[in-house]
Structure formats: structure tokens, C-alpha cells
Structure 1
Amino acid sequence: MSWHNQKKILLAVAVILIALLSFAIGVSFGTSYDNGSLINVLFPALGVVGNWIAGIGAIAAVFTSLWLADNQRKLNSEEIDVKFNLVVSPPDMTSRLMVSAVSKGNRPANVKSLSIYSANSTVAMWVKDLDPQSSHLPIVMPYGHDASFLLVRGIESYINSYVKEHCDGKYSSLRIQLNTTLGSFFVPFSSEILKHLRNAGANKSS
């Protein structure tokens, strides 16, 4: 169960306990008021309050331990900041697609491949080749290390074909994925990149 779901459950239990505590106190004081025996009921009620507070404290301790465990898990996991941009490169200075990545986790990231995926498709497009100026795959990225993956010239036509043949012609929800041995990190295609793809397709048609 994820930390987010655990937090919801613990908060719900805490709210239920507080509601039951409030109900018990209200019943106790209501009974004492009717019977005119406030002192005889007040001290037992305070004892019950102490037990409830101890229970809430135990829940808070569980909450804290789970939070610390989740933070430790995050510290020991891969964390990569991924960016997907248009760049220009000499000598022709034409627009190119490039993926930039920075490792921010304590655990080194073993990056295996790049792929393009869309929620409108059941398959992903594997980015097979990279420009010679690019960082090479696979690559191990310890904390603080970065890499730049420059996609080859003409890959726009392959992406447009992928969209046409596997995504029902829909460019929405396209994303680039950086795949490691433990997971994937992705970033959506920006409006500028989508415009670049459409322009490349129009230029090819003309």
C-alpha cells in the first residue's frame, strides 16, 4: 500500500476516534447533569479521556514511523529530473530534439533506454539511435551527474508515423520516457515540440 493511501487511512481512523471520544464525553456529561452527580461521573470521564489521548498518541507514533519509512524509501530510490527541449546545433543550426537528465537521488540510476509513449497507443516507440554527439546508452548516473541525449536528425518523421499508425493520429498525451532498471521517468511533449513535429510533417508532404 502506498504512503498516500496509508495516510488517508490513518487520518480517517484519527477522525473516527476523535468523534467517538466527543460522543462519549457528551454522553457522560449529559448523564451526570440529569442525575445531579457531576463529580461521580467527571473523574471516570477524565480517565476515559486519558485513554483516548494515549490511543491517539499511539496512532500519531504509527503515522510518524510510516512517514519516516517513506522518506527513507525515497532517499534510497532513483530520482531523475528529465527535460525534453528543442535545441540547435552547428553547422546547420536546425532545430533538434534533445533529452536532458540529472540524477538527484542517493541511489545511482542505471539508464537503459529512451522511448516515446502515448496513452492513445498500446505500444511504445523505442528510440533506437542517438546522435554521435549525444551521451551514450546505457549509462550509470550517480548523484549530481547529468547526461544529454540528442536525437538523430529525421526522427520527427518516425514520431509522426508512430502517431499516425499507433495513436489514431492524436498527438495529445505524447511523452518521452527515460527507462532505468528500476522504473521510468517521463516528461510530456511541450506545445513547441508538437508544433515542431507538425511543421516537419507538413514540410515533408510539400
Structure 2
Amino acid sequence: MTLHQTSLCFACSHLASGEKEGDELRRNSDVVEILRNTHFRRLCKTSGRRTPARILDHDRVIWLGDLNYRIGLSYSETKKLVQANDWDALFEKDQLRIEREGGVFIGWNEGKIFFAPTYKYSWNSDSYAGESKKKKKRRTPAWCDRILWYGEGIEQLSYIRRESKFSDHRPVCAVFIVEVAVLHTKNIVKAANMKVGAEELLPRCSLQRQEF
């Protein structure tokens, strides 16, 4: 989508699951395929405006979803750090952090994480799966659910998780301020007062009551 003279792209994906050694390579392959094979058709001709053909051709990009990257520690080591709320030590072993520093997500940004791993929970519970005697369903806790951004002119105001218990994941949400360029006196300039929250870019609808 385009707002004034700035193009924006929102990508939502569910990458390959699994916590066995090497499963992160399948997730990396998914990322490469998404970036390589996602193309946007030009629906209308706009004079003087570039139409992005691929995800990274956009000025601002937000990528969110169940990215499924795990923590490279054993279940017992991870649980000890979770119980101690030692997010920094856990984050050092986070697979997505490693990919952002020199892998498929290099150049992407993420806000600092101050919340517990979002996966895997027992249904309708505050306990991670496998904490009881049923170790068959046990998974090492991980930050599977993430929100990343790419490009200049994006400022994140908050990055938190919610406590909905309708899934084995805990949802995460973020609030951004995004700068856009506007056309002024035949020149494109950045307007400081043209910052908008990302939620303002989402489609809106209204409902009216009709009696029969």
C-alpha cells in the first residue's frame, strides 16, 4: 500500500515448526522463498510514483507472525532462566537474534523483549506444556511469535505480549510511529507532522443496525 509518497508492506507468515537441530534451516529457507517469490502486481498506473514489485522494494516493511524460531538451550536450562526472568540470557541463545545479526534477517529490526517466551502453553492455562507428567507434549519455551520491521522512519513505541489463553501461544503486539513523505511544491519532503500510528493504516469498517 502507499500513503502519500511512502510505500508500506505488511507481511504475516507461519514459518516451519520444530525444535530439533537443523529445523531453523527450514525456517530460513521459508524466509528466502517468501522474499524471492512474493511479487506485487501494478493495479493502476500512477504518474511519477514508483510501484514496489517485491517486499524489500517498499520504503517501510513490518513482518509479523509465528516465525517459530527457538532458543538453543535444553528444556531444563531454559526453564531455569524463565523462572528467574533472565530474558537477556535467553535472548543470547535466540535463533532469530542470530539470523538478524548475520543470517536471513540481517538488516531487520526488533524491539527489546521484556516478556516471557510465548510458546508452548497448555490450553487455557498459565503453565507451559509438559510441566505436568505428560512429557509427550513438552516443548522448550521459546519466543515463536515476533514482530520485525525494515526500513528507515519507523519508531516502535511498545512491544508486549497479551495473556489470551485460547491457544498454545501467547499473542504479541506492537505500536509504531511511521514517517511518510508528502508532495509539496513539486518536491518530496519529509513532514515531521505526518507521523501516523500503524493501527491507523489498517482497514476500518462500521456497522449499522437495520430493523426489519
Q: TM-score range by the shorter chain?
A: under 0.3
TM value normalised by structure 1: 0.25
More helix by share: 1
Q: Which has the higher contact order (CA 8 A, sep 6+)?
A: 2
- In our comparison, the structure showing a higher alpha carbon Rg is 1
